[in-house]
Structure 1
Amino acid sequence: MAETAAAAAPEGINPRSGYCAATRTFHSLRSASAGALPPESLPVTAAAYAFSLLASPLPDRPALVDASTGIAVSYPSFLAAVRSLAGGLWSFLGLRPGDVALVVAPSRLDVPVLHFALMSIGAVVSPANPASTPEEYAHQVALSRPVVAFAAPEVAAKLPGHLRCVVLGSDAYKSLASAGAGSAPPPVAVKQSDTAAVLYSSGTTGRVKAVAITHRNLIALICAHAENRERVAAEATEAGEEPPPPAVTLLPLPIFHVFGFMMVLRSVSMGETAVLMERFDFGAALRAIERYRATLLPAAPPVLVAMIKSEEARRRDLSSLLVIGVGGAPLGREVAERFVAVFPNVQIVQGYGLTESSGSVASTVGPEESKAYGSVGKLASHLQAKIVDPSTGEALGPGQRGELWVRGPLVMKGYVGDDKATAETVDSEGWLKTGDLCYFNEDGFLYIVDRLKELIKYKGYQVPPAELEHILTSHPGIADAAVIGYPDEDAGQLPMAFIVRQPGSNLTGQQVMDYVAKHVAPYKKIRRVAFVNAITKSPAGKILRRELVQQALSMGASKL
Structure 2
Amino acid sequence: MNAAQSRTMVAKNLFTVNRTLNSVKQSSKYASVVIRKHSVWTEDRVIKSPYKEVELPNVSLYNYVWQNLDRWPERTASVCAVTGRGYTYEQAFRLSNRFGANLRTKFNICDGDSVAVMLPNLPDFPLIAMGILAAGGVITSINPIYTAHEVQRQLKMSVAKAIVTLPEIVPVIKEAFKIAKINIPIIVVRTNNNPIPEGTALFNELSEDIHTDKSVLRQVSRNPNDICFLPYSSGTTGLPKGVELSHRNIMSNCEQINDPLLSMHNETTANHQDCVIGVLPFFHIYAATVLMFHKLSIGAKLVALAKFQSETFLKTIEKQKTNILMVAPPLILMMASHPASTEKIFEHVDVVCSGAAPLAASDVERLFQRTKRDIEFRQGYGLTETSPTVSLSPKGSKRYEATGPPIGSTEIRIVDSDLNNLGPNETGEILVRGPQVMRGYRDNPQANTESFTADGWFRTGDLAVADEEGTITVADRLKELIKVKGFQVPPAELESLLREHPSVNDAAVIGVPHQSKGETPKAFVVLKDGHKCTERQISEFVNEKVAAYKHVDDITFIDSIPKSAAGKILRRVLKDKYC
Which bin holds the TM-score, normalised by the shorter protein? Answer: 0.7 to 0.9
Match of 1:396 among 411, 414, 422: 422
Structure 2 residue ranges without an equivalent (≥5): 1-34, 190-195, 485-490, 492-507, 518-541, 560-573
**Contact 2:262–2:394 (8 Å) recurs in 1:** no
**Is 1:199 aligned to 2:231, yes or no?**
yes
Structure 2 residue aligned with 1:176: 206
**Is 1:372 aligned to 2:399, yes or no?**
yes
SS at match of 2:341: helix
Structure 2 residue aligned with 1:186: 217
SS at match of 1:196: strand
1:266-305 CA deviation, whole Å, 9 max, x = no partner? 1100111110111222111101011111111111112222
Return the offset for 1:106.
1.1
Structure 1 residue aligned with 2:471: 445
**Contact 1:356–1:412 (8 Å) recurs in 2:** yes
1:155-212 CA deviation, whole Å, 9 max, x = no partner? 2222214231323135543332234654113322211111101001167843111111
Match of 1:425 among 433, 451, 471: 451
Distance 1:195 1:403 in 2: 28
**Contact 2:102–2:212 (8 Å) recurs in 1:** no
Change (3 A) 1:266 1:154: same
Segment of structure 1 superposing worse, 161-170 or 267-276: 161-170
Return the offset for 1:127.
0.9
**Is 1:46 aligned to 2:61, yes or no?**
yes
**Is 1:36 aligned to 2:39, yes or no?**
no
Match of 1:20 among 31, 42, 61: 42
**Is 1:126 aligned to 2:140, yes or no?**
yes
Return the offset for 1:126.
0.5
Residue 56 of structure 2 aligns to which amino acid in structure 1? L
1:130-162 CA deviation, whole Å, 9 max, x = no partner? 111111112112211111111211222222142
**Contact 1:323–1:347 (8 Å) recurs in 2:** yes
**Contact 1:67–1:288 (8 Å) recurs in 2:** yes
Match of 2:259 among 220, 224, 227: 227
Return the offset for 1:87.
1.4
TM-score, normalisation: structure 1: 0.74
Structure 2 residue aligned with 1:110: 124
Structure 2 residue aligned with 1:248: 275
Match of 1:292 among 306, 310, 320: 320
Distance 2:554 2:309 in 1: 25
Return the offset for 1:321.
1.3
Structure 1 residue aligned with 2:186: 166
Return the offset for 1:316.
4.7
Match of 1:275 among 303, 315, 326: 303
Structure 1 residue aligned with 2:528: none
Change (3 A) 1:204 1:386: closer
Structure 2 residue aligned with 1:214: 246
SS at match of 2:230: strand
Change (3 A) 1:197 1:154: same
Match of 1:68 among 82, 95, 105: 82
1:292-351 CA deviation, whole Å, 9 max, x = no partner? 111111111122222222221117532011111101110102112222343224221111
Distance 2:148 2:51 in 1: 44
Distance 1:425 1:419 in 2: 10
Return the offset for 1:111.
1.7
TM-score, normalisation: structure 2: 0.72
SS at match of 1:155: helix
Segment of structure 1 superposing worse, 72-81 or 164-173: 164-173
**Contact 1:97–1:123 (8 Å) recurs in 2:** yes
Structure 2 residue aligned with 1:553: 556
Residue 69 of structure 1 aligns to which amino acid in structure 2? T
Residue 221 of structure 2 aligns to which amino acid in structure 1? A
Change (3 A) 1:496 1:426: closer
Return the offset for 1:52.
1.0
Q: How does 1:140-539 map to 2 (within 5 A)?
A: 140-159=154-173, 160-161=177-178, 162-169=182-189, 170=196, 172-179=202-209, 182-184=212-214, 185-187=216-218, 188-201=220-233, 205-228=237-260, 246-262=273-289, 263-314=291-342, 316-343=344-371, 344-366=373-395, 368-369=396-397, 371-390=398-417, 392-454=418-480, 500=515
After TM superposition, where is structure 1 displaced by more than 6 Å over at least 4 residues in a row? 541-544, 555-560
**Contact 1:66–1:277 (8 Å) recurs in 2:** yes
- After superposition, the CA RMSD in angstroms is 3.6
Percentage of identical aligned residues: 25
Distance 1:330 1:421 in 2: 25
Distance 1:352 1:543 in 2: 22
Structure 1 residue ranges without an equivalent (≥5): 1-12, 237-241, 456-464, 470-483, 485-492, 503-535
SS at match of 2:345: coil
**Contact 1:324–1:346 (8 Å) recurs in 2:** yes
Distance 2:90 2:157 in 1: 36
Aligned residues, how many?
459
Residue 365 of structure 1 aligns to which amino acid in structure 2? P
Residue 211 of structure 1 aligns to which amino acid in structure 2? V
